Amino acid sequence: MASTLGSTPDFNKILYTPLAEADPEVQNIIDKETWRQFSGLELIASENLTSLATMQANGSILTNKYSEGLPDHRYYGGNEWIDELEVLCRKRALQAFHLDPAKWGVNVQPYSGSTANFAALTALLQPQDRLMGLGLPDGGHLTHGYYTAKKKMTASSIYFQSLPYSIDHSNQLIDYKGLATQARIFKPRLIICGASAYPRDWDYAELRKTADEHGAFLMADIAHTSGLVAAGELADPFQYCDVVTTTTHKTLRGPRAGLIFFRKDSKYADDLEKRVNDAVFPACQGGPHNNTIAGIATALHQACQPEWKAYAKQVIKNAQALAETLVAKDYKLQTNGTDNHLVLWDLRPLKLTGSKLEKLCDLVGITINKNAVAGDTSAQVPGGIRLGTSALTSRNMLEDDIKQVGEFLNRAVQIALVLQKEAGSKLLKDFVRVATQGGEGLEGYKQVKELKKEVQEFARKWPLPGVDVSDLKRPAGISEDD
C-alpha cells in the first residue's frame, strides 16, 4: 500500500532518528553506565534495578502530554487516556498496600520523594508549625526537618520548626521514650517516622500514642521499605498513620517518583484528600510526568503479584546473610543485624572512615555509600557505610551469593587498611593516590587491581534487567580493565 503520510521536511528528520545515530554522545554515556551496572555490584540501599516493562512505560510517548489537575478535572484537553492511566495507577497503589478505597486515597503525581514529603508537609501544616522527625545522623532523612547549628538545610526546617528525636545509643534502636518526653515539651503538630538508614522495624502503635497525646498527625515516610511493607514483610504503617509517603524506586522497584497516601478518616482532619491533592498541584508542582506514572502503574502491578512476596522475603534473607557474614568476621554492625533490606556497618573500631571504604569499593566495582553511625559527629566524614540488598536480589542473587559479596567486602576492608598505612597520612587524597597509583614497594595498589578483576568476573555472571547482556560489548571510552 502506498504511503499517505507525505514526506518529512529536513527540519523534522531528526524526530525519527534513533538515539545512537541522533546523539551518539548520549548513547555512549548510557552504554558506559550500562556496562558499569553490569560489571559491578550495586549495594546502595536506596537503589534497585527496575524491570524492562517499567522502563518501557517510563520511556513512552506519554512524556508528551500536559495534564495539570486530577482525572476528570484537568486544565488541558486531550487527557482521556491519561485519566485512565492515573485512575489505574491509583487503584493499583491502594491494592499493592492492601488499602480500602473508602478509607485511603493516594496521589501518584509527586516527582520524587523529597517533593512528596514537602507536599505532605504543606498539606498537614501551616508555615512555622512544629514537627519532629528522626535526626539525620541517627538514620533519618534530610526532608524530615534536618538542620545544623549554622544552617536550616531543607525546606522542612526552613518553613517549619523542627526538633529531631534520636536512637538510644546503647542499643541503637529508636528511643520511643525519649521521643515522648521531648514531645511533651515541644508539642509537635506532626511526628514523622521512617528512615534512610535504620536496619530495624518501627513501632507505629507507640508513635501513634505519642502523637495522640498532642493531637498531632503521624506521617510515615516508607521510601526505603515500601516494597517490603507491600509484601507484608514489615509492620504496617497504614494501620496507625494519617499520611504515608514513599518513593517508588527503592525496594518498590519502580521508576524514580513518589506517592502520597492519605487517610480519608483521619481524626485530626476530614479533608486530607483535598489538602494533599491541592498541595501536590498547584502548591508544589506543575504538570505530572505521565510517562513516570505509567512506570509506577507497571511497577505496582508487579508488586501486586504473588511473586512479589518471594522477592521481598529474599531481599531480607540476603541482607541477613550479609549481616551474618560480616558479624562472623567480628565486624561491628549497628544493632548487630537487620530486619529489612539494609545493613549499617560501623567502621570506627577499625579506625577507617566510611569515605575511604566507599572510595576503595568504587575502585573495585562495589557501589556503596558512606553513612553516619550512632554517635558520629561529622556528616562529611562519617564512621560507617550503608549496604542494601535490593539490587543484587533483582540480579537473582541468593544467600550463598551474597555471602561471597560479604567476602569481597571483607577483602576491601583489609586492602583499605593496607592502603591507609601506605598513604602515610590520614587524608583521603593520599589514600586515593596510593590506591590508584601505587608506588615503589607498595602492595595495596596491586591488591586493588586483583579484587577489581574478581568482582567484575563475578558480577558479569548475572543478568541485568532490561538489558540483553549476552550481546553486551565494552563501549568506547571504557578501558580493558573496566
Residue identified by cell 556496562 is: 35
Q: How far is CA 7 from the centre of its chain?
A: 46
Binding of residue 196 to ligand DSN (CB under 6 A): yes
Q: Measured between alpha carbons, how far is 354 from 26 in angstroms, rounded to an integer?
A: 32
Nearest distance from residue 247's CB to ligand DSN, in Å?
7
What are the cell numbers at 105? 486515597
331 is known as an active-site residue: no
> What type of residue sits at position 240?
Y
Check 34, 36, 47, 66 and give the catalytic one. Answer: 66
Could you tell me the smallest distance in angstroms from the CB atom of residue 398 to ligand DSN? 25
Query: Toward ligand DSN, which CB reaches closer, 131 or 418?
Result: 131
Rounded to 5°, the CA angle 299-300-301 comes to 90
Which of 23, 34, 36, 68 does the annotation list as catalytic? 68
User: Which residues, 369 to 388, sit near ligand DSN by CB under 6 A?
Assistant: none
Of the pair 228, 415, the CB lying nearest ligand DSN is at 228
> Judging by beta carbons within 10 Å of its beta carbon (0-12, 13-18, 19+), is residue 64 exposed, middle or buried?
exposed
The rounded distance, in Å, linking the Cα atoms of 405 and 454 is 11
Choosing from 225, 247, 251, 298, the catalytic residue is 247
Active site residue 66: yes
Shortest spacing between CB 252 and ligand DSN, in angstroms: 13
Catalytic residue among 31, 42, 138, 221: 221
| Residue 110 within binding range of ligand DSN, rule CB under 6 A | no
Catalytic residue among 90, 250, 275, 386: 250
Cα separation values, 99 from 86, 90, 106, 264, Å: 17, 11, 10, 11
- Compute the least distance from the CB of residue 46 to ligand DSN, in Å: 3
Closest CA to 209 of 191, 235, 222: 191
Residue 130 or 253: the one with the smaller Cβ distance to ligand DSN is 253
Closest-by-Cβ residue to ligand DSN is 46
Q: Which is nearer to ligand DSN, 216 or 284 (CB)?
A: 284
Asked about 256 being catalytic, the answer comes back as: yes
Question: Minimal distance in Å, beta carbon 170 to ligand DSN?
Answer: 25
Nearer to ligand DSN, 113 or 354 (CB): 113
Sign for the pseudo-dihedral over CA of 434, 438, 439, 440: positive
User: Least separation, in Å, of the C-beta of 428 and ligand DSN?
Assistant: 21
145: nearest Cα among 156, 135, 137, 134: 156
Q: How far is CA 368 from CA 45, 343, 417, in A?
A: 8, 11, 17
Q: Strand 161-165: give its sheet, edge to edge.
A: 104-107, 258-263, 243-247, 217-221, 190-193, 130-134, 161-165
Kindly state whether residue 255 participates in binding ligand DSN, applying the rule CB under 6 A: no
Backbone φ, ψ for residue 123 (5° rounding) = -75, -35
Shortest distance, CB of residue 146 to ligand DSN, whole angstroms? 11
Annotation marks residue 21 as catalytic: no
- Closer of 46 and 314 to ligand DSN (Cβ): 46
| C-alpha grid cell, residue 318 | 540476603
Distance CA 417, CA 348 (A): 12
Whether residue 247 lies in the annotated active site:
yes
Using CB atoms within 10 A of its CB, is residue 150 exposed (0-12), middle (13-18) or buried (19+)?
exposed
Q: d(Cα 85, Cα 294) in Å, to the nearest integer?
A: 7
Over the window 121 to 150, marking each residue x when it contacts ligand DSN by CB under 6 A and - when it does not, the resulting string is --------------------x---------
For ligand DSN, the binding residue among 110, 113, 164, 384 (CB under 6 A) is 113
| Residue 222 or 418 having the CB closest to ligand DSN | 222
**Which of these, 139, 181, 138, 136, lies nearest to 162 by C-alpha position?**
136
Count residues near ligand DSN (CB under 6 A).
Answer: 4
User: Smallest distance, Å, CB 372 to ligand DSN?
Assistant: 12
**Mask: binding to ligand DSN, 35-64, rule CB under 6 A, as x and -?**
-----------x------------------
Annotated catalytic residues are 66, 68, 221, 247, 250, 256
Q: What is the contact surface with ligand DSN in residues (CB under 6 A)?
A: 46, 113, 141, 196
